[in-house]
Chains A and B, each alone.
Chain A
Amino acid sequence: MSSLYSTLTKLLEVDAVQPDDKLRDFDNWDSLTVLSLCAHVDASCGVSLSAQDLQAVNTVDDLERLIASRKAA
């Protein structure tokens, strides 16, 4: 999941993200960021998430869990 953190720091333009950070609290969290994040998760993890899936996600940790559960499914 280190690539997820690396992608998030670039997308959100911050030095680091923490598991309990709330995604919606970041200034850069917008529809284009969501789309780009979905594309990166698809390319790096082989997991297809939609913008709708991410609406149900609160924190970075939630996102990690969602990706892990989709991978396991």
Chain B
Amino acid sequence: MYHPFDMQRRRILVTGAASGIGRATCVALSQLSARVSAVDIDAEGLAETIRQLAGDGHSQIQLDLTQLDQIAPAVTKDAAANGSLSGAVHAAGLPCVEPIRLLEPDAYRRALIVNTEAALSLARAFQRKDVCAPDGGAIVFVSSVMGLVGSPGSAAYSMSKAALHGLARGLALELAPRRIRVNCVAPGFVNTPMFARLAGFWDPQERARVEADHPLGIGSPEDIANAICFLLSSAGRWITGCILPVDGGYTAK
């Protein structure tokens, strides 16, 4: 029976796969019968993600995404060994909460490389004819509501995430003739290890304020994973160049 979200016979590569949104995306994709190529620097976290996946045929790639020149060789090698890719998700990301007086280049460069430049390198690797499936595919960048709106201390992080929106729109038009769609999901605050670390610094008033900013409450990684699966699946086949907020109403105000 046809199901528009079915991912059978599709291999999807996911960065940031060892925790949070990346891991939840891997799990959701496997439950939709996709095969997953899970990428992260954290070998232990990757192994745990692989243990949580449904089905078989998954692969894991331990990779430091700050080494941009290592991304294409790793992706190409995975495709040669395990089959061409129908999708790629860039969920890897680093936080950067600094007032402008601390934003020396070294303070934000790592976040910019992992959040933004690695996404471009991943897209370059994915669109190669020896990597992408012949009938095309879909790329999803995980950006952030901070790429759509601002917040004190978010300037560098917002810059890194807003750049993904420009990247997605440009690539969407460039790659449409090859049936490769490119979209972003822009999550609000989601219960991930990155959020837990940040929330640990807040006082109860700040926590209450952030929660109140999300009319539907703080999200779960699965909420973002479901939206990513939608954009990757046939159900999203006419969607490209889209920035989809998945934020419990954060940007509705």
Residue in A closest to B96 when the chains form the complex, CB atoms: A39
Given contacts A32-B153, A35-B153, A42-B197, contact A50 B203 (CB under 8 A): yes
Interface pair B201/A50, CB less than 8 Å apart:
yes
A2 within 8 Å of B by Cβ? no
Once the chains are docked, how many angstroms separate the CA of A71 from the CA of B108?
A: 27
Given contacts A32-B153, A36-B97, A42-B197, contact A11 B102 (CB under 8 A): yes
Once the chains are docked, how many angstroms separate the CA of A29 from the CA of B80?
A: 55
Interface pair B202/A35, CB less than 8 Å apart:
yes
- Which label, helix, strand, loop or mixed, suits the secondary structure of the A interface? helix
A38 within 8 Å of B by Cβ? yes
- Which label, helix, strand, loop or mixed, suits the secondary structure of the B interface? loop
- Which residues of A are found within 8 Å of B202, using beta-carbon distances? 35, 50-51
- Which residues of B are found within 8 Å of A55, using beta-carbon distances? 203
Q: Mark A42-57, 1 if CB is under 8 A from B, else 0.
A: 1000001111100100
CB proximity to B under 8 Å, residues A1-50: 10-11, 13, 28, 31-36, 38-39, 42, 48-50
Residue in B closest to A50 when the chains form the complex, CB atoms: B201
Give the Cβ gap from B103 to chain A, nearest Cβ, in Å.
10
Question: How many B residues, CB 8 Å from partner?
Answer: 15
B211 within 8 Å of A by Cβ? no
Interface pair B204/A52, CB less than 8 Å apart:
yes
- Which residues of A are found within 8 Å of B97, using beta-carbon distances? 35-36, 39
Residue in B closest to A13 when the chains form the complex, CB atoms: B101
B98 within 8 Å of A by Cβ? yes
- Which residues of A are found within 8 Å of B197, using beta-carbon distances? 42, 48
B99 within 8 Å of A by Cβ? yes
Give the Cβ gap from A62 to chain B, nearest Cβ, in Å.
18
Give the Cβ gap from A17 to chain B, nearest Cβ, in Å.
15
Choice from A33, A48, A51 contacting B99 with Cβ under 8 Å: A33
Interface pair B102/A52, CB less than 8 Å apart:
no
Give the Cβ gap from B213 to chain A, nearest Cβ, in Å.
15
Given contacts A10-B102, A35-B97, contact A48 B204 (CB under 8 A): no
Once the chains are docked, how many angstroms separate the CA of A10 from the CA of B198?
A: 21
Interface pair B101/A51, CB less than 8 Å apart:
no
User: What are 16 pairs between A and B in contact, CB < 8 Å?
Assistant: A10-B101, A11-B102, A13-B101, A28-B101, A31-B206, A35-B153, A35-B202, A36-B98, A36-B102, A39-B201, A42-B201, A48-B200, A48-B201, A51-B206, A52-B204, A55-B203
Q: Which 6 A-B pairs have the closest CB atoms?
A: A38-B201, A51-B203, A52-B203, A32-B153, A32-B152, A32-B99
